[in-house]
């Protein structure tokens, strides 16, 4: 059981570049979510999904896209990176009613 796997662990982008943060889980969890964490702050929800084919916006969705074609994968796309998107990104998954299991995070810097 690998749990929740996020790739890459570190990434530096130039303003305007696009990229996809990958997230995969092998626990057959229905729920998956993406969060961002800025220095000294809590986790803010970007997008979440309650099952394959179903996604919804969280608190800070602007500038990010998601899709969920399979139960296992939930990629997060940055279409045109901006310095304000410099953050640590966490992917997480959960079975209904249980706490979320988190990946180890991706540290993204946009210059």
Binding site for other proteins (CB under 8 A): 30-31, 33, 35, 41-45, 48-50, 56, 58, 88, 90, 92, 94, 96-102, 104-105
Give one DSSP letter per residue of 94-108, joined into a string: E-TTSPPEE---EEE
By beta-carbon proximity to other proteins, the closer residue of 14 and 97 is 97
Neighbour tally for 93: CB within 10 Å: 26
Shortest distance in whole angstroms from residue 110 CB to other proteins: 19
By beta-carbon proximity to other proteins, the closer residue of 74 and 110 is 74
* 77 and 41 Cβ atoms separated by less than 8 Å: no
Q: Which residues pair with 31 in a beta bridge?
A: 94
Shortest distance in whole angstroms from residue 104 CB to other proteins: 6
By beta-carbon proximity to other proteins, the closer residue of 24 and 29 is 29
Nearest to 23 by CA among 83, 67, 86: 67
Shortest distance in whole angstroms from residue 106 CB to other proteins: 11
């Amino acid at each position: 059981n690998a749990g929740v796997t996020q790739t890459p662990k570190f990434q530096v982008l130039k303003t305007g570049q696009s990229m996809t943060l990958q997230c995969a889980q092998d626990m057959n969890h229905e729920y998956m979510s993406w969060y961002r964490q800025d220095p000294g702050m809590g986790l803010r929800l970007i997008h979440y999904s309650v099952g394959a084919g179903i996604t919804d916006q969280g608190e800070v969705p602007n500038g990010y896209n998601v899709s969920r074609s399979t139960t296992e994968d939930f990629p997060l796309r940055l279409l045109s990176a901006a310095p304000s998107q410099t953050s640590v990104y966490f992917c997480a998954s959960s079975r209904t009613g249980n706490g979320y299991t988190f990946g180890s995070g991706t540290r993204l810097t946009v210059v």
